[in-house]
Amino acid sequence: MAELNIGKHCEIESCKQKDFLPFVCSSCSGVFCLEHRSRDSHSCPEVLVKKEIGSGGSKSYPCSYEDCKGKELLPVICPHCEKHFCLTHRHQDDHKCEKLEIPKPRMAATQELVQKIVESKKNAPPSKGRKGAKNAATII
């Protein structure tokens, strides 16, 4: 009788157990039995590489703001002055960025025009009232 093509053999040389519900490692994509499914039990090569990178790569980025001792694990770089800052000093106005552009007052010309109109209305004599078609003076 022919053997059905169901299941897979464990990739560990000393095991080679046929498993009908094999486990596929998400790191190295190897096929393993229940006993060798964990990364530690099959000595996953991808985990070893990640541990080496992780242990040597624990770099921190100190804040460039004067008298600040803050550090970040990820770089927080100001796009204007291109210096590293902590989250407290990440905005231009927080770290007194040398390239900070002070916003100009919006609609300055309009504001001046409105101010002139208001001043001219204050100096003008008060109007006597509105004269219209239904005014008593126009009926006579």
Measured distance CA(99)–CA(83) in Å, rounded: 12
Decide if 77 is inside a domain.
yes
- Domain match, 31 and 65 both: no
Q: Give long-range contacts, CB 8 A cutoff, 24+ apart: 70-78.
A: none
pLDDT by residue, tens only, the chain of 140 residues: 566 788 899 999 999 999 888 999 888 889 999 999 888 888 887 765 555 555 555 578 899 999 999 999 888 999 988 899 999 999 988 988 888 877 777 777 788 898 999 988 877 676 666 666 666 555 55
First to last CA, the chain: 125
Decide if 2 is inside a domain.
no
Decide if 126 is inside a domain.
no
Q: What's the pLDDT score for residue 96?
A: 87
Decide if 27 is inside a domain.
yes
Question: What is the reported pTM?
Answer: 0.36
- Domain match, 41 and 63 both: no
Range of the domain at 38: 8-47
Q: How many folded domains does the chain comprise?
A: 2
Measured distance CA(10)–CA(20) in Å, rounded: 10
Measured distance CA(39)–CA(103) in Å, rounded: 56
Decide if 108 is inside a domain.
no
Query: How would DSSP label each residue in 37-57?
Result: -STTTTT-HHHHHHHHHHHH-
